[in-house]
Structure 1
Amino acid sequence: MNKQHKDIIIRDARDEDMLTIREIYAFQVLHGVSSWEEEPPSLEEIILRRDAVTHAGYPYRVAVCGDEVLGYSYASAYRPRPGYRYTVENSIYVADAVQRMGLGKRLLEDLIVTCTEMNFRQMIAVVGDSENIMSIDFHKKMGFQQVGIIKSIGYKFDRWMDSVLLQLQLGDGDKTLPDD
């Protein structure tokens, strides 16, 4: 599949995008370590999750070429306590057929700009497994710094997996107090 960057737009996710989003996510659940779920959620569950993200005031975006969804990203609360309200966690998924074409970069750049404009100050990437070098290196190239590894916290594909934490300051980060 050869997609030209100029033909790809990033916009808010719509209801008609959700079936393809579910398919992209299901592939990662079954074959990847980006998600530690073991069974792909239903379309209804994926819609409920998207709605929870957007109703909480966070962005949920898609990369599309024409009517075809190629990938998606969203930011969500890093933790539910009020003290974390200026910190978001990112999630990015790209269809397997269009991996390594720069879509993840475009989705993350869009998410960083959007979250900065929304006055969030920190973005956290929680990468599934320390062997997921592609995702770790991707986040580092995007300006994230690795800030920790939680060893053997997850179990999938008959092995223990680590969780790698990376962090990016947004806007003023911790240099100024937030505007409430």
Structure 2
Amino acid sequence: MTVSLRDAVETDLKAISALYAREVLDGTATFELEPPSQIEMGRRFATVKGYGLPWIVAEVDGVFAGYAYLGPFRTRAAYRYAAENSIYVAPGMQGQGVGRALLNALIGEARALGLRHVMGVISQSDTSEASLALHRALGFTDAGVWRDAGWKFDRWLDVMVMQLDLSPDAGPPHGDGLDLSGS
């Protein structure tokens, strides 16, 4: 089994939308309750790309296996050196290195963009341990917990905030960071 990564393109939106819809309906990685349309996912894709941020697709032996992207952590200007990661791995592909390959790629992209932090915002449920362990294995540290932050599937869910400091000894930032002027 070989995981290959590439930049996502518009023709990936059907597979991306289907995977995300499955997570909306059956999972807790997102707190959305209704799956967005493929058109809406296209808007989100364009927004991420408009910030100059990566959206990556993983394939295993040529078959769609998941996707990941960076988005602004928050859209206020002072946050322009921080991005939040989102990773979705297709059913049957978990535990095969897809998530690790995607997260490693996002970290590399964040470094190349001159960002200071990558944030992980992960719901805490019975299925989130693998995601928490992956983030910790790649250097993320626990930054806090939002208690009972979301109500989904007739229960309250906590959210763990994790943070990777890409430049812990850095002084003032270099470069302009993300252009968040549209917010």
The answer to whether TM tops 0.5 is yes
State yes or no: 1:133 paired with 2:137. Answer: no
Could you tell me which of 138, 141, 144 is aligned with 1:145? 141
Structure 1 counterpart SS, 2:95: coil
- Summarize the alignment of residues 58-69 of structure 1 with structure 2, pairs less than 5 Å apart: 58-65=53-60, 67-69=62-64
Shift of 1:30: 1.0
Distance 1:50 1:75 in 2: 10
1:24-55, CA deviations, whole angstroms, 9 ceiling, x for partnerless residues?
Answer: 11111111110011111110011110110001
| Aligned-pair Cα RMSD in Å | 1.3
Q: Alpha-carbon deviation of 1:130?
A: 5.3
Equivalent residues of 2:28, 2:125 under 8 A apart:
no
**Whole-angstrom CA distance in 2 between matches of 1:35 and 1:109:** 21
Name the amino acid aligned to 1:117: A
Instruction: Kindly indicate whether the alpha-carbon contact (under 8 Å) linking 1:127 and 1:136 is maintained by their aligned counterparts in 2.
Output: yes
One-letter code aligned to 1:143: G
Q: Which residue of 2 aligns with 1:81?
A: 76
Residue in 2 that maps onto 1:114:
109
Alpha-carbon spacing, 1:174–1:22, altered in 2? closer, same or farther (3 Å) = farther
Give the TM-score normalised by the residue count of structure 1: 0.92
Between stretches 93-102 and 63-72, larger displacement belongs to 63-72
TM-score normalised to the size of structure 2?
0.90
| Structure 1 alignment gaps of length 5 or more | none
Aligned to 2:29: 34
Q: How many residues align?
A: 174
- Aligned-partner Cα distance in 2 for 1:70–1:134: 16
Question: Secondary structure, in 3 states, of the residue corresponding to 1:74?
Answer: strand
Separation (CA, whole Å) in 2 of partners of 1:71 and 1:60: 11
Choose which of 149, 155, 160 in structure 1 pairs with 2:151: 155
Deviation, 1:15, is 1.0
Give the percent of matched residue pairs that are identical in Structure 1 and Structure 2.
Answer: 37
Of residues 81, 85, 90, the one that matches 1:90 is 85
Secondary structure of 2:173's counterpart equals coil
Distance 1:112 1:80, change over 3 A: same
